[in-house]
Amino acid sequence: MNNIINNKMRNVFLCFFIIIFFNSCIEEFFFENNSENEIVYVVDGQILTNNVEQFIKVSTAVSLGHPIFNPVSNCLVSVYDENGNVFHFEETANYSKGVYVGEIPIEFMYFGNKFKMTLETKDGKILESDFEELLQGVPLDSLDYVLNTNSNGMNKANFYLNMPVDDNYDSYYRFEINESWEYHAAFPIIKYYAYVDNNIEFFDQFEDYSKNICYKSQDLKCIYSASFDDVVGAEYLTVPLHFVSNETQRFKYKYSVLATQYSLTKKAYDFWGKLKNTSQNGETVFGNIPMNADGNISCKNNPDEIVLGYFGVSDYATKRFLVDLPEDFGFYESQFDCSINEVDGKVLLNILANLEKEDGPYYLPQAPAYDPGGTYIADQGCFDCRKKGGQTQIFDFWKEK
């Protein structure tokens, strides 16, 4: 009897907790701000030590419904150093609108020199930054990863960037990460439909693996920053980066990381830190209050006017890391989006009817042995790996190796 009661009670409690925890919910929210926004200028300037040619981008903030870069042309842009030297920036045909290009000779790019930017817009607004000091960065040392398995059984490789801690160098840094990897299409090309002149014809051939292996590279749209101030008792500054899971092919064949480092002033570090907190952190039960990151640019005509962005000066360093892959990463093959689906013949006809010449051939998978006469389709990236954004030509850094 007691067991029966216990079981009943347990079921009641179980149901209750399932209800309460699954009642908390997060839904996508679509917000349209219909208010007439004033023009808010955005300045994205970063003077770097790696190049004589420097760039400053000028744009305006755009409405939430139309998230595109909205350049501002016809501005007068200049950069001054603390010794009164002036470097003028202009829009050129070689770059898109809103990108102002100027040259700062290497002899001015010494550590300790300070720079500021002034900008006059077509409507007479004068925007000016504070002086920013060029500070020396630390050499990038090594990249490593730690393997973890989460509670769902997913394997993850968490990457860390290591830099030697040294008092001779500046304390604040921002990093950009570009990752590259090799991946394979799931199926060889055997049969396909393609345009011959203006007609679509069917082709059947031996297994073609020419579009089976691809290489892809992409920037990670995240802010990574670090400070020596947060390090204690270590010889290296360890910067947590991204992770790679066994649900993609990144870690299956080849993987590489290109890390780019920018030295920052404390103010620039705080600016990027606020941007990171505001843009990348989710919600907690207590409700974080978002805020705008205050940059170092102001409008001289109207000090109350908000100017977004930052004008910074950074020591630039970059290093490529070719990553040694783990022997057993437990890949989920089924997660690579290449299943074949049986369809009605009309579906295939409809697909072919909408096939454009520039789309290229439409590949078909081999029907399974138990249903050789069936009509099957699959994602085209499962045959031509380029359809998933990569290229078949191997990157030079892997060639060199």
Partner 1 sequence: MNRLLLPIIIIFVPFFIFSQQKKDTIDCNYLQTPILEFIADIEEQTDLSFTYTQLMIKDLTITVNGDQMGVFDVLDKAFKYTPLRYIYYKPNLIFIVNKANFIDQLPVYTLSSNDFESEDDSQLSTVMQKYIKGRNPNIKKTIIVGDKNNVSNGKQVKIIAKLFDEETNEPLIGATIFIKENGIGAATNNAGELTLRLPQGKFSAEIRCVGMQDAECILDIQSEGAFSYVMPQEVKSISEVTINAQQDYKIRGSEAGLDKLSIKSVKELPSLMGEKDIIKISQLLPGIVSVSEGSSGVNVRGGNADQNLFYINKLPLYSSSHLFGFFSSINSSIIENFAIYKGHVPAQYGGRLSSVFTIDTRKGNKEKIFAQGGISPISANLELEGPVIKDKASFVVSARSSYSDWILKRLPNENLKNSSVFFYDIAASIDFDINEKSNASGFFYNSNDFFNLNSKNEYQYDNLGGGVYYTYRLSNRLKSSSHFVQSNYSFSTVDNNNEVEAFSHNYSIKHTEIKSQLSYIFTEKQNLNFGGSFINYNIDRGKIEPYGSNSRRNELDLGGEKGFESALFFEDKYELTKKIKISAGLRYSFFQYRGPQDVYIYGQELGVSEDNIIDTLSFKKGEAIKNYNGPEFRMGADFKTGDFSSLKFSFVQMRQYLYLLSNTYSITPTDQWKLSDYYSKPAKSMQASVGYYKTFASMGMSASSEVYYKQSDNITEFKDGADFLNSKLVETQTLQGNQDAYGFEFMLAKDEGRLNGWVTYTYSKSFVQVDGINNDKKYSSNFDKPHVVNLTGNYKFSRRFILSANVMYSTGRPITMPQSIYYLQDMPFVNYSDRNEFRVPDYFRTDLSLTIEGNLKAKKLFHSYWMINVYNVTGRKNPYSIYFQSEQGKIKGYKYSVIGAPIFTISWNFKLGNYANE
The H or E element spanning position 148 is strand 142-149
Q: What x/- string results for residues 57 through 76 when contact with partner 1 is judged by CB under 8 A?
A: x-xxxxxx--x-x-------
Closest by alpha carbon to 108, among 88, 134, 78, 137? Answer: 134
What is the per-residue binding string for partner 1 in 118-157, x denoting contact by CB under 8 A? ----------------------------x----xx-----
Please pick, from the candidates 50, 281, 341, 391, the single residue that binds partner 1 as defined by CB under 8 A. 281
29 binds partner 1 (CB under 8 A): yes
Residue 42 is a binding residue for partner 1 (CB under 8 A): yes
Distance, in Å, from the CA atom of 370 to the CA atom of 70, rounded to the nearest integer, reads: 56
Does residue 370 belong to the site contacting partner 1 (CB under 8 A)? no
Question: Residue 162 interacts with partner 1 (CB under 8 A)?
Answer: no
Examine residue 34 and tell whether it contacts partner 1 (CB under 8 A).
Answer: no
Instruction: Decide whether 208 or 294 has the Cβ nearer to partner 1.
Output: 294
From candidates 197, 221, 346, 353, binder to partner 1 by CB under 8 A = 221
Residues 169-198 close enough to bind partner 1 by CB under 8 A: 176
Core vs surface per residue 164-198: b (16+ CB within 10 A) or e: ebeeebbbbbbbbbebbbbbebbbbbbbbbbbeee
> Does 355 engage in binding with partner 1 (CB under 8 A)?
no
Q: What's the min distance (Å) between Cβ of 153 and partner 1?
A: 9
Tell me which residues in 77-96 interact with partner 1 (CB under 8 A): none
CB 181 within 8 A of CB 214: no
Please give the C-alpha separations between residue 229 and each of 132, 144, 236, 259, in angstroms, as whole numbers.
Answer: 20, 22, 12, 21
Scanning residues 226 to 255, which ones bind partner 1 (CB under 8 A)?
229-232, 234, 237-240
Q: How many residues bind partner 1 (CB under 8 A)?
A: 80
Q: Footprint of partner 1 on residues 282-301 (CB under 8 A)?
A: 282-294
- Please, which residues bridge with residue 237 across strands? 163
Decide: is 13 part of the binding site for partner 1 (CB under 8 A): yes
SS3 205: strand
One residue of 149, 205, 279, 392 binding partner 1 per CB under 8 A:
279
Return d(Cα 247, Cα 227) in angstroms, integer: 32
**Residue type (1 letter), 144:** D
Count how many residues are written for the chain.
401
